[in-house]
């Protein structure tokens, strides 16, 4: 098994691709591949006709009857830690990809997104029930720390060879409705894996010995999705002028403060962040539910659910956004390796480690959040949604990719977004073109 992913192709030269929107999906695949320094056909597998074969799906889950197509768009303008990234995003929601690209553009002037991480450390939990002397049991397990770390490492020599392995043992006495339980945490550096398999294997292997030492019965042995030892932080400075001026900046700060103070607003604010995070996590074949569970548990880490991001004004009057989220994402194992589209998505991103992937994911989450706040504070969310919706309506009325923009603009201006009106506008446009031919 390979744990390191050195990229074979060239690096992405630029994540700015003017006119991408006006191309057909096939033409966009070539344009994006070229900008990423990949072969023209590198993204062909994203064509639904070439994607996940039902035979492959049949090996992934049970009782397979087919596969579900989800649109994959590419966010442009994204710079993370000085590296240009073209970011694949799988989402059914209109506006998300455009909004991320737009927000990323506003961060480019100040260098894009900067990130930091705690490193890829996951937690496995071993629950012990029926301890007669829980405090003493806790002490005995901690005294056996070195033995337990060595036993955990022995479960996964490949991980250890690649620089990962067990790092620490922590033990708590937990008062519960069913009496005091002793809970053992095994902290494991999982390197480029998501880590569930590695830590679950270790927890199961260690549990009998841990139970013997504690004098208690091991029960659950499973990772925690509250991955707070695997945090990624993103920060970006968004240009005040591009945002719409000082009043918009001030209003975004007010909007973010609302989310920080109120769980009702925080849930929606964080949903906007997850629009970006989940789309990249899904496109790269990672476990969206694990990441979502981790992010929401982090939002409630102090006992009250709050916003995952914060926004401030810097000394130049620009807007600074920061986001901290647990991100259990990997590059090896699971669908990231088994799914051809996920493999192509990782290839397009050009990330070499799970940490680099997490840095992009967090950055897109922050970009998405800023875009939503700007739209809400400046003009309301419906205008952007309607413009995109109008493009879909224009296409449904038979407009070609070259005609969609003009038809959509007309029906938005007329506030008449219907397939019927789009058909009439299209007929008029074609008539005008014939007249001028
Ligand atoms: C919609 O998918 C996401 C938003 O509701 C996020 C937000 O309100 O911040 C627009």
Instruction: State residue 146's pLDDT score.
Output: 98
CA–CA gap between residue 15 and residue 189 (Å, rounded): 32
Residue 377 token pair: 């504070």
Instruction: State residue 382's pLDDT score.
Output: 61
Where do the domains of the chain lie, and which CATH numbers do they carry? 72-117+231-378 (3.90.770.10), 121-224 (3.30.70.420), 383-436 (1.10.8.660)
- Closest CA to ligand 1's atom 6: 272
CA–CA gap between residue 246 and residue 312 (Å, rounded): 12
pLDDT tens per residue across span 384-407? 667 778 888 998 999 998 898 899
Q: Catalytic site residue 385? A: yes
Residues of the chain with pLDDT under 50: 1-9
Instruction: State residue 436's pLDDT score.
Output: 60
- Specify whether the CB–CB gap between 90 and 72 falls below 8 A: yes
pTM: 0.88
- Torsion over CA of 169, 175, 176 and 180, rounded to 10 degrees? 80
DSSP state, residue 329: -
Question: Which atom of ligand 1 sits closest to the CA of residue 259?
Answer: 9
132 by Cβ neighbours in 10 Å (0-12 / 13-18 / 19+) ranks as exposed
Instruction: State residue 6's pLDDT score.
Output: 37
Q: How far is CA 201 from the centre of its chain?
A: 26
The ligand 1 site (C-beta within 6 Å) comprises: 93, 268-269, 271-272, 275, 372-373, 376, 381
Instruction: State residue 4's pLDDT score.
Output: 36
- Specify whether the CB–CB gap between 75 and 90 falls below 8 A: no
Short-list 323, 128, 290, CA closest to 195? 290
71 by Cβ neighbours in 10 Å (0-12 / 13-18 / 19+) ranks as middle
Instruction: State residue 389's pLDDT score.
Output: 81
CA–CA gap between residue 78 and residue 80 (Å, rounded): 6
| Dihedral of alpha carbons 47, 283, 18, 83, sign | negative
């Amino acid at each position: 098994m390979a744990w390191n992913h050195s990229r074979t192709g060239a690096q992405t030269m630029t994540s700015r691709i003017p006119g991408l929107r006006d191309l057909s999906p096939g033409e966009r695949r070539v344009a994006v591949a070229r900008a990423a320094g990949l072969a023209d056909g590198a993204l062909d597998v994203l064509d639904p006709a070439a994607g996940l074969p039902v035979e492959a799906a049949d090996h992934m889950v049970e009782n397979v009857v087919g596969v579900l197509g989800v649109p994959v768009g590419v966010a442009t303008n994204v710079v993370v830690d000085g590296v240009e990234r073209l970011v694949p995003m799988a989402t059914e929601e209109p506006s998300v990809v455009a909004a991320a690209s737009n927000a990323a553009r506003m961060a480019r002037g100040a260098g894009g997104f900067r990130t930091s991480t705690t490193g890829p450390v996951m937690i496995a939990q071993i629950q012990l029930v029926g301890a007669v002397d829980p405090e003493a049991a806790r002490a005995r397990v901690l005294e056996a720390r070195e033995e337990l770390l060595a036993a955990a490492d022995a479960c996964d020599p490949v991980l250890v060879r690649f620089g990962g392995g067990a790092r620490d043992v922590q033990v708590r006495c937990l008062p519960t409705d069913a009496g005091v339980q002793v809970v053992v945490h095994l902290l494991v550096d999982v390197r480029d894996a998501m880590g569930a398999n590695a830590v679950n294997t270790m927890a199961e292997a260690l549990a009998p010995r841990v139970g013997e030492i504690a004098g208690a019965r091991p029960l659950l042995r499973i990772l925690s999705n509250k991955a707070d030892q695997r945090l990624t932080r993103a920060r970006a400075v968004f240009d005040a002028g591009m945002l719409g001026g000082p009043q918009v900046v001030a209003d975004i700060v007010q909007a973010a403060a609302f989310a920080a103070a109120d769980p009702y607003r925080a849930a929606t604010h964080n949903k906007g962040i997850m629009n970006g995070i989940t789309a990249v996590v899904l496109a790269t074949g990672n476990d969206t539910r694990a990441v979502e569970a981790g992010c929401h548990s982090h939002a409630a880490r102090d006992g009250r659910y709050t916003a995952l991001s914060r926004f401030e004004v810097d000394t130049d009057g620009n807007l600074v956004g920061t986001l901290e989220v647990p991100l259990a994402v990997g590059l090896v194992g699971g669908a990231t390796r088994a799914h051809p589209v996920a493999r192509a998505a990782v290839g397009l991103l050009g990330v070499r480690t799970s940490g680099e992937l997490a840095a992009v994911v967090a950055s897109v989450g922050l970009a998405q959040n800023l875009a939503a706040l700007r739209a809400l504070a400046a003009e309301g969310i419906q205008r952007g949604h309607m413009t995109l919706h109008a493009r879909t309506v224009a296409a449904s009325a038979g407009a070609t990719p070259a005609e969609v923009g003009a038809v959509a603009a007309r029906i938005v201006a007329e506030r008449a977004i219907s397939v019927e009106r789009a058909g009439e506008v299209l007929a008029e446009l074609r008539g005008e073109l014939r007249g001028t031919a």
